[in-house]
Amino acid sequence: MSAVHRNKVYITGYGIISAIGCGAAETFAALQEKQSGIGEISYVETALKNYPVAEVQKSNEDLVLLASLPENNMYSRTFLLGLIAAQQAMQMAGLKSVQGIAGATTVGGIDLKERYYNRLTENCDNTLLKRKIYPWLDFGICTEEIAAYFGIRSNVTTISTACSSSANAIMFGARMIRNGITDSILAGGMDAISRISLNGFNSLEILSPTGCRPFDRNRNGVTIGEGAAFLVLESEKSAKNKKIYGEIAGYANRNETFHQTASSPDGAGIAMAMRQALDVAGIQPEDIDYINAHGTGTQINDLSEGNAVGMVFGKNIPPVSSTKAYTGHTLAAAGAIEAVLSLLSIREQTLFPNLGLENVMDELTFIPQPEMEKAGIQYVLSNSLGFGGANTSLIIKKV
């Protein structure tokens, strides 16, 4: 019996917005200049202003103008960030619509509810305000609105697996194409900073008071960020004669269910995900040229991921760095943002530095990438670790 043909999954467009820039050019310039987006919070009213965040330096009004939307409507900041990244991706791919969308978020439109909560609970007639806000409280509304904007009428789904959400959205889209279900799909994620996410991480006592320092011996927690990124994924048939920016060569998700919010310290779950992604890609560990680590700067995450890298790669560990000291932890958007950063690494044949690293944690068997450095890069492995042990690895290949 002949082997079943599996479609290759090509990336024909990508878009990104985060604390370090809007679009690929601004983003790469910030990476080159070692310009972190971490600073004081400006656009969210919170009692936790003493904790730094990685905020997109644009007001909601700025984002509405950037997205060329009608100014008299009400929008979630999460949606605005997602739409801007999706517009960039679709424009790069030269497409007006695609056959599906997989969007990811953890907060959806909750930023609107937070902003107007007091007015909504006042003892007066807020019927008009409620009519405008209530649709945005549907968790999947941001994906649905982006789908409506591009006229996407089928294969519309929202994925939420905490911090691995958009990596899983990309995996979902890749599997749809690889198995011949669709020929094109928009896949990625979006999250705005909200009080609920800040308060949630604060309740876990893992917010960094200084800014995250992944893999440092004196790391003291996570820095919450915001942003969005989307990829246009197309089959070989659909992408024929088009410019291709990369290939989703491998992917895997393993849910280890070790703890409600923490990964297993020994790294077993993420090690399984990396090994399975390598198997899907049909390559060996030594073929990986760069690892874009999840690297949040928390005690448990960095220990878990560091142990997993050692388990999978042994003595031949490729360059490793976390880019979260640039962008902060963008929650559901992190996997997609780091997929775009992986594409930029491939495009520029450049390794990105692990900012803020002063003393490497004792448990590591490798030294994270200290400086921006040119290198031959064919395969990048990008990790995303979510609450509940929802661990995902993507492998992106140069084409």
Q: Known catalytic residues?
A: 163, 294, 329
Q: How far apart are CA 314 and CA 46, in angstroms?
A: 44
One-letter amino acid identity for 241?
Answer: N
Report yes or no: 384 and 163 within 8 Å, Cβ to Cβ. Answer: yes
Which stretches of 83-155 are assigned E, i.e. beta strand?
Answer: 101-104
Contacts of 227 (CB under 8 A, 6+ apart): 16, 17, 18, 19, 54, 56, 81, 85, 190, 191, 327, 330, 333, 337
Q: Is 188 within 8 Å of 104 (Cβ atoms)? A: yes
CA distances 351 to 155, 171, 266, 319, 347, Å, are 35, 24, 27, 8, 11
Closest residue by Cα to residue 157 from 174, 145, 140, 133 = 140
> For residues 215 and 297, what is the distance between their CA atoms, to the nearest angstrom?
6
Handedness of CA 7, 319, 26, 70 (dihedral sign): positive
Q: How far is CA 32 from the centre of its chain?
A: 20
Structure tokens given for 352: 């990105």
Burial class (CB in 10 A: 0-12, 13-18, 19+), 131: exposed
> What are the CA-CA distances from residue 87 to residues 78, 229, 231 (Å)?
14, 10, 10
CA dihedral (8, 14, 18, 21) positive or negative: positive
Give the CA radius of gyration of the chain. 20
